Amino acid sequence: MANHRGFQFGGRPPAWRGRGGVAAVLALIICGSTVGSAQTNAPVAAAPATNPITRLPEVVVTGRQDSLLGIANSASQGTTGQAQLADRPILRAGEILETVPGVIITQHAGGGKANQYFLRGFNLDHGTDFAVFLDDMPLNLPSHAHGEGYADMNAVIPELVEKIDYEKGPYYADAGNYSSAGSAHLNFYKVLPQDFVTLEGGMYGYERGVFGVSQKLGAGTILYGGEAYHDDGPWVHPDNYRKFNGILTYSQGDEFHGWSTTFRGYHGEWNSSDQVAASFGQTNFFGTLNPADGGNSERYSLQAEWHRGNENAATKITAYGFYYDLDLFSDFTYFLTDTSKGDQFEQSDRRWVGGVDVRHARFNQWFGRDVENTIGLQTREDFINNGLYQTQNRVRTDKLDSDTGTVLPADTDVNRFTDTQAGFFLENKIQWADKFRSVAGLRGDLDYFDVTSLSNPTNSGTAGAFLPSPKLSLIFGPWAKTELYVQGGFSFHSNDGRGATQTQEPISADNPAGGATSKIPALIATKGAEIGVRTVAWPNLQSTLSLWYLRSDSELEQSGDTGGTTASTQPSDRYGIEWGNYYKITRNLAFDLDAADSIARFTSVDADDAAPNSPGGDHVPEAVGLVISSGLTLHDYHGFSASLRLRYFGPRDLTSDGDYKSSQTILLNAEAGYQINKTWRVSAEFLNLLDRHDHDIDYAYTSRVTPTAQASFQNVFHPVEPFQVRVGLTARF
C-alpha cells in the first residue's frame, strides 16, 4: 500500500474514511495485504479495542491502478508492484526506480558505477537527496569516496522486488538523511508466487541468467536466488561488465507475529568509457579518452527483522550489517593537468556498517477520535577507510602539474574515520472528522565524525551537528472521489566527514598549491511545502497533481573527485509541478502518463559555476527540468504481454549563467512476451527503437583531449546506447 511504513507497519489508518468507508480500508490493513502478493511478513495490527474488528475478505493492492484515497498522505506518494516492474523494458537494474514519477536514471561511466539520479530540480549525483532502502536497510552511503549518499542499484535483482513504495518531499517523519527530494523503499519477496529461471542474451555481448526459488523449510520459508550478468556495451573499448548477485532469506510467522533474516551478496568488475568532450565525440561517439578507466565493487549484507502486533500496538525491529568496497578509476579532464601521465585518479572506499531501526506504534482514541502514535529510533555506524589517489593506467603514481611544476602526490587525500548517525522520530495521526485527517511528525538527527587523516594530520579531528525537522500533512476529503493535500516540512542531507574537519586542502589538480580552507557543515538543512490533489472521479483513471517548493540552505558539498574543493555555498530555491495519470483502458490494457517540470535557482549570483569570462548567474547547473514518461501496456492477453514506453529528458542548464545547455534525450523502448504454456515464456526487449544518438548525461567544464591540444571549456557527454535487441526464456514452476 502507499503509506508502507506508516500503515503497513502501524497496522491501520485511524478510520481515515470515517465510519462509512472504513470497511474497505480495514480489509486492506487488517488482512495484511501487500502490493503484488497476498503474503507478507510486515506487521499489521487491528483496530483499537474500543472498536471490535470483524475480519473481512482480503484486498490485494497490485499497483498504480488501485485507488489510494484514504490511504496516501500526499499526491506524490504511491506504489509500484511487480506486475508493472516485470512489464517494463530496462537497460540497467537501476531503471526500475523510473517507476517513481519524475525520476530519471542515467549513467555517465561504466555499468558497474552507481547510477546518476535526477528528480525535482536536482541533479542528485549518485543519491545525495534521494534515499533508497532495501527492506528498511539503507542503500545510500555517507562520506563516500566518490559522492555523498552514493547508492548503487547494481546490488538489486529486479525480479525479486515485490513492490516499490515511494514518496517525495521532506514531509515524512521516518525518512531521514537524503530524503529531501524523495525516497524509494524496495520490498523484496519472502515467498515467491512461483519459482523461476530466466536466461537472456542480446547484442553487444549481453548475457544474463537469473533464478529464484522459495520453499517450506521447518516452520518457515527459505527463499534463494542469484544473478550472473555480462555486458560489453557498444563502446569501442568494451565495458566487459561482469556482476554476480545472490540472496538468501529465511522467514517465519505471519503479518502479526514473525521474523526474517536475509543475506545479500554482490560483486562487479568493469571497464569504463567515461564521458567524452564534445570535440572528441563528434568523430568517436562511442569512444573513450582513457581505456584504463573502470573499477570493481562488492557489497555483502546480513539483516534481520522481527515484528509483533495486536489490536493495541505494533512493534518492528530491523538490524543490519554490511561490508562494502569500491575501487573506481576515472578521468574526466584527460590531459588538462599532467600532459605526460594524464589526469586519471582512483577513489577507494572500504567500510563496515552496522545499524538498527526500531519503531513502535500505539492505536487508541482521543475524545472519540481514532489516533495512531508512533515513536522510532534509527542509528547507523560507518567505519570507513577511503582515499583519493593519482594514477596512470590504474597504478598509483606522483604527477606533475604542467602549468605550475607542482608535484601532485600519489596519496592525494587518505583518511580513516567513523561516521555516526542517529535519528529519532515521533509521528501522530488523527482522524479529526470524516473528511479531515492530519499527520504531524518531529525528527531529530545527529551526525558525528571522528576523522584521522593519514595524508595530512592537520585535517584530523571531530565534528558533529544536531538538526530538528518538524513535518505536517493535512488531508481533506474525499469528496466526489477526490482528496486534497497540504504539506510542509524540514529535512536535510549529511555532508562528507572529511570536509567537516578539513582545514588544509590537499595538493590536487584543482588546487596545486593546497592552502587553507574552511570546514563545511556536517548537515545541510532543507525545507519545503506542497499542495496536491488525487482523484478517481473518472472511471478507471487515477490522476494526481502536485505543486511543490523546496529550499536548500546551501548547495555546499565536498568533492570526492578533488579531495578538498566544495561546490557552491549559496542557498537555492526549487519549485515545480508534477502530473501523474494511470488509466486502465480494459482489463488487459493500461496507459500511463507522468509529466514533471521544475526550476532550480540560486538565491544569489554564482560565478564559480559559470562559463569562462562570464559574471555568472543564478541557474543551478545540471538541474533537471521537464521530464515526461509514458507507456502503453498490454498484460496477459491470451498469453501475450507487451509494453511500449517513451522517456523524455529535457534540456538542462550546464552553467550558472545558462550559456551552456544540454540537449534533450528521447528514448522509445518496447518489450513483448508470450506465455507458451504454464511453464515457459519467451520475451524480447527492443531498446532505443528510434536509434537516436542522444546523450545520457551532459556537463560543461575545461578539459584537454590530447597532450598537445589547447585546454578548452566545452560540453562533455556520455551517449545513450544505440538500438539493441535482447531476448529471454523463462521457466516458472
DSSP characters over 660-689: SBPPPEEEEEEEEEEE-SSSEEEEEEEEST
CATH code of the domain containing 252? 2.40.170.20
Q: What is the pLDDT of residues 306-351, one digit of tens each?
A: 999 998 999 999 999 999 999 999 999 999 999 999 999 999 999 9
| Range 697-722 average pLDDT | 94
Quote the mean pLDDT of the chain. 89
Residue type, 691: D
pTM check: above 0.75: yes
**Burial classification of residue 591, based on how many CB atoms lie within 10 Å of its CB (0-12 exposed, 13-18 middle, 19 or more buried):** middle
Instruction: State yes or no: pLDDT of 60 exceeds 80.
Output: no
Helices (H), 277-356: 278-281
Q: C-alpha cell of 695?
A: 546523450
What percentage of the chain has pLDDT greater than the value 70? Answer: 90
Confidence of residue 556 (pLDDT cuts 50, 70, 90): confident
Which pLDDT value is given to residue 514? 73
Provide the residue range defining the domain that includes 562: 4-732
What grid cell was written down for 381?
Answer: 555506524
Per-residue confidence band for 111, with pLDDT thresholds at 50, 70 and 90: confident
In this predicted structure, the answer to whether residue 7 has a pLDDT above a threshold of 60 is: no
pLDDT score at 110: 81
Counting every residue written for the chain, the total comes to 733
- Band of residue 607 on the pLDDT scale cut at 50, 70, 90: confident
In this predicted structure, what is the pLDDT of residue 389?
A: 96
Q: So what's the pLDDT on residue 649?
A: 97
Give the separation between CA 249 and CA 257, rounded to whole angstroms: 17
Q: pLDDT, tens digit, for every residue of 439-475? A: 999 999 999 999 999 999 999 999 999 999 999 999 9
**Residue 647: which of 629, 674, 662 has the closest Cα?**
629
Rounded mean pLDDT of 491-502? Answer: 93
**Residue whose C-alpha is closest to residue 672's, from 723, 724, 635:** 635
Task: Kindly report, residue by residue over 373-398, the tens digit of the pLDDT.
Answer: 999 999 999 999 999 999 999 999 99
Residues 6+ apart with CB under 8 A from 205: 230, 231, 232, 233, 238, 240
How far CA 316 is from CA of 161, 234, 309, 427, 513, in Å, comes to 21, 47, 9, 15, 53
Segment 661-680 shows an average pLDDT of: 97
CB 142 within 8 A of CB 135: no
Q: Which of 272, 312, 278 is nearest to 294 (CA)?
A: 272
Residue 486 has pLDDT above 60, yes or no: yes
Number of domains comprising the chain = 1
Note whether 195 and 225 are within 8 A (CB). Answer: no
Lowest mean pLDDT among 69-83, 171-185, 229-243, 659-673: 69-83
Residue 661 binned pLDDT confidence (cut-offs 50, 70, 90): very high
The answer, yes or no, to whether the previous bond of 612 is cis (omega within 30 of 0) is no
At 568 the pLDDT is: 60
Q: What is the pLDDT of residue 46?
A: 38
CA pair distance 321, 352, nearest whole angstrom: 7
Tens of pLDDT along 117-140? 999 999 999 999 999 999 999 999
Residue 7 or residue 478, greater confidence: 478
Query: Looking at residues 403-430, what average pLDDT do you find?
Result: 95
Quote the pLDDT of residue 16.
Answer: 32
